[in-house]
Structure 1
Amino acid sequence: MKLGKKVAIIAIATSSLILSSSPAFAGQINGSGATFAQPLIDVCKVEFTKDTGHTVNYTAGGSGKGRTDFASNLVDFAASDSVYTSGFPAHLEYAAVYAAGIAIGYNLPTVKTPIYLSPAVIAQIFSGEIQNWNDVRIRTVNDGEVKVPVFATKKVTVKVGGKNTTQTVPVLDKAGKPKILKYNTVEANAKLPNLPITVYYRSDSSGTSEQFGKFLQGANAGENAALWPKTASGTFANSTPVSLSNFFNFQGANGSALVGAGVKSKIGAIGYAESAWFTSNNLGTALVQNWAKEFVPPTAAATSAFLGGGTIEANGSVTTPYQKAIPGAYPIGTASYGLVYPEAAKKDPEKQKIVAEWHTYLLEQCPKKFPEKGYIQITGALYDKAKAQIAKIK
């Protein structure tokens, strides 16, 4: 009998310890939006739950779907790679909590060396003007010496899955600019096959498509303006110079995951998405020529260099410069935004507290914990602006 009482007391004490180590309040928030952000959100929301006890549910249906759901008050937050052009929700705030490069992924298993692409060639491929990998315009860019930056990195220790883990991250200064160690002069000599190009593009309303279209138009302005004259659109097919119905080699896909899977499924295919969708499928990503005439991979450091040359707007968004010679910049970088409600929106205060915690976690912890996903650790003035935007969530 005494033994039974002793066991019962130990059990009660143990359960008290378990309860006392749990968060005082554990809640749940729901979000919707960009597939561009999904590789980072999927892994980091698990860490967020471990660290805070809160649950984040996120449905990646595209930036357009996220903005619609947010405006309709269907979610507590949304993620979008582009800003609203109409249908603005009342009391909207943008917080640039993560950023990454939009990679150009390709499936060419016989090509063992990197592929280099200029903005003009990318525009010609994605408008259907270039339809074969052996086209002289691609071969010309991949023939001769190219200049490639090499960035400084450092080792950091972060807690992932409850364990200390050493990660390699780029060295960034207080302004968010990466340190360039040197430039390598590389002989571009990709043996491009005589193979038709299949283009995979986003068929849904996509902030990634809109940012990609802005790059194609902005980087080709001036003497190359005819290559991509239309204003960027969240619907890729609406911004192409020629109707895609004229071509048989274009395949629409709903979301970045299906773009990556589509490119993986077809030898000779090419597509655009956040780089994790291609690296997870063991696909190559092109080095893209910037306005400083360097060829740069879609790394976190190179994206930091590009966004560091942008303009931070009053609403928290970033306007990027496509014809500015920024050393080391990967020229198809984009900030991605959390869409949130400030105090004036009079939302549930407990959920708003979790929304603020989640976006702070995205900003400060997630890229550092999972650098292999290719997202940058935002620093400098953009970090300060994002923190100020998050502080409005009450």
Structure 2
Amino acid sequence: MKIQRHGATLGLIAAGALLLTACGSDNNAPAGATGGASAPASAEQVDCTGKAKLNAEGSSAQKTAIESFVQVYQQKCKGADLAYNASGSGAGVKQFNAAQVDFGGSDSPLSKDKGEVDAAATRCQSNPAWNIPLVFGPVAISYKLDGVTDLTVSGEVAAKIFNGTVKKWNDPAIAALNSSAKLPDKDITVVYRSDESGTTDNFQKYLTAASKGAWTQGDGKAFKGGLGEGKEKSAGVAQAVASVDGAVTYVEWSFAQDNKLSVAKIDNGGGAVELTPETVGKAIDGAKIKGEGNDLVLDLNSIYASTAAGTYPLILATYEIVCSKGYDADTAKAVKAFLTVAATDGQAGLSDAGYAPLPKAFQDKILTAIKAIA
């Protein structure tokens, strides 16, 4: 995911638009609490005496962020390395719970209903696993439609598109939100993630919260719309949409930009809202933590269903899933070292990589959790 060329745009996130300190408990994607493209300076000490090679797997949404973290980690801890396989959130959780990797990456926290919480506790020697959010960004409803580059959807209309209730681009439901657009009499081609994905889970949670009952399919890491063409990973769905006129998908903003896809505005009841650093930041101001203690699980439902003017409600938080206890001593040291670097010095390059640095208040919460890993 090569998104460095978008750094100038996303750097604005850190320029004060996404002042996550207002997130009473948990601030997702943005920049330093006082503005500026870099994360707050940190005097955190890093213990580099753990094992030299770490392995992790999971979310493709955070792939470039992890690569940036690894570069800083290698500078900070000479001879250290981390291999990250961007196989998707579902695979990341499975590999973590099977003790095949040292930590997993997921766009959704561990699910108790699916047995992931219990499986992770077993993997961690009868200790709970923690969800630690390090990487944040918006999700775009991205499309390719000849002659239409300015399009608005609502949560209700998006739900009807992705469950097949609305089949044509000139459907009255779409036209009612786009009176000035020349909508073609063309079939809508839905493209979805065929692999298990936290992006899919977040998107379906948004549809459930924001569609006024139009989305009844539920959520989860597997797409439940019942139609469309499945493609693997974020790059796969974005590339597929780029090649088909009339196609639409949900994907991280950076992938939409990379593939030159149009991005729909969202009317959440307060008027059409464009996806920008400012509108994402305003939405994230309401994020809270619902996890207990150092398990930093975010409660995003209030954002997804928000009707506040000027807020873009579709955001994604990527978690690193770690054992609170249960590692051997060398692995625990290395995991803590990598995550400490990622949460501090590693934040400085995130805006150039297409992500948003952590604000100081939220950075402190993450560091508290990292220090508690044993």
Answer yes or no: is the 8 Å Cα contact 1:131–1:196 preserved in 2: yes
Greater RCO, 1 or 2 (C-alpha within 8 Å, sep 6+): 2
Select which of 55, 65, 73 maps to 1:48.
73
Query: Would the aligned equivalents of 1:303 and 1:376 in 2 still touch at CA under 8 Å?
Result: no
Secondary structure of 2:116 counterpart: coil
One-letter amino acid of the structure 1 residue matched with residue 357 of structure 2: Q
Task: Name the CA distance, whole Å, in 2 between partners of 1:385 and 1:205.
Answer: 29
Identity %: 29
> Which of 265, 286, 297 does residue 309 from structure 1 map onto?
286
Q: CA deviation at 1:261?
A: 1.3
Match of 2:110 in 1: 84
Contact 2:142 2:264 in 1 (8 A): yes
* RMSD (Å), alpha carbons: 2.3
SS state of the match for residue 103, structure 1? strand
Query: Which residue, out of 207, 211, 216, partners 1:229?
Result: 216
114-123 or 33-42, which deviates more: 33-42
Counterpart position of 2:64: 39
Normalised TM-score (structure 1)? 0.72
Determine if contact 2:271/2:309 at 8 Å carries over to the other structure: no
Instruction: Identify if the C-alpha distance between structure 1 residues 390 and 107 changes in structure 2 by more than 3 Å, giving closer, same or farther.
Output: same
C-alpha distance in structure 1 between counterparts of 2:342 and 2:316, whole Å: 16
In the superposition, relative to structure 1, how do residues 264 and 253 fare at CA in structure 2: closer, same or farther (>3 Å)? Answer: same
The answer for the alignment partner of 1:127 in structure 2 is 163
| Residues 309 and 326, structure 1, Cα contact 8 Å, conserved in 2 | no
**Is the counterpart of residue 391 in structure 1 residue 371 in structure 2?**
yes
The CA distance in 2 between the partners of 1:98 and 1:365, in whole Å, is 14
Partner of 1:271: 249
- Structure 2 counterpart of 1:337, one-letter code: Y
Taking structure 1 as reference, are residues 354 and 319 closer, same or farther at Cα in structure 2, changes over 3 Å only? same
Residue of structure 2 aligned with 1:282, choices 240, 248, 260? 260
The count of residues paired between Structure 1 and Structure 2 equals 310
Q: 3-state SS of the aligned residue for 1:391?
A: helix
Q: Go from structure 1 to structure 2 and tell me whether the alpha carbon gap of 1:355 and 1:305 turns closer, same or farther (over 3 Å shift).
A: farther
Please report how far the alpha carbon of residue 234 of structure 1 lies from its aligned counterpart in structure 2 after TM superposition: 1.2
Distance 1:219 1:209 in 2: 15
Which residue of 2 is the match for residue 67 of structure 1?
93
Equivalent residue for 2:197? 206
Contact 1:31-1:75 within 8 A present in 2 as well: yes
User: Aligned match of 2:349 in 369, 382, 385?
Assistant: 369
Encode CA deviations 1:6-53: one digit per residue, 9 max, x unaligned: xxxxxxxxxxxxxxxxx8888221101111212322344334334443
Q: CA deviation at 1:392?
A: 1.8
Query: How far is 1:290 from its partner?
Result: 3.0
Within 5 A, what are the aligned runs for 1:1-394? 27-53=52-78, 54-85=80-111, 86-88=115-117, 89-90=120-121, 91-111=128-148, 113-143=149-179, 189-220=180-211, 224-225=212-213, 227-237=214-224, 240=225, 243-244=226-227, 250-297=228-275, 299-313=276-290, 314=292, 315-320=295-300, 321=302, 322-342=304-324, 344-345=325-326, 347-366=327-346, 368-371=348-351, 373-379=353-359, 381-394=361-374
Unaligned runs of 5+ in 1: 1-22, 144-188, 245-249
Distance 2:250 2:347 in 1: 21
CA contact (8 A) 2:136 2:318 kept: yes
SS of structure 2 residue aligned to 1:270: strand
Task: Quote the Cα distance in structure 2 between the aligned partners of 1:38 and 1:190.
Answer: 36
Rate the CA distance shift 1:364–1:118 in 2: closer, same or farther, 3 A. farther
TM-score between both structures, scaled by the size of structure 2: 0.76
Structure 2, unpaired ranges of 5+: 1-47, 122-127
- 1-structure distance, mates of 2:147, 2:230: 25
Larger-Rg structure: 1
Residue type of the partner of 1:228?
A: W
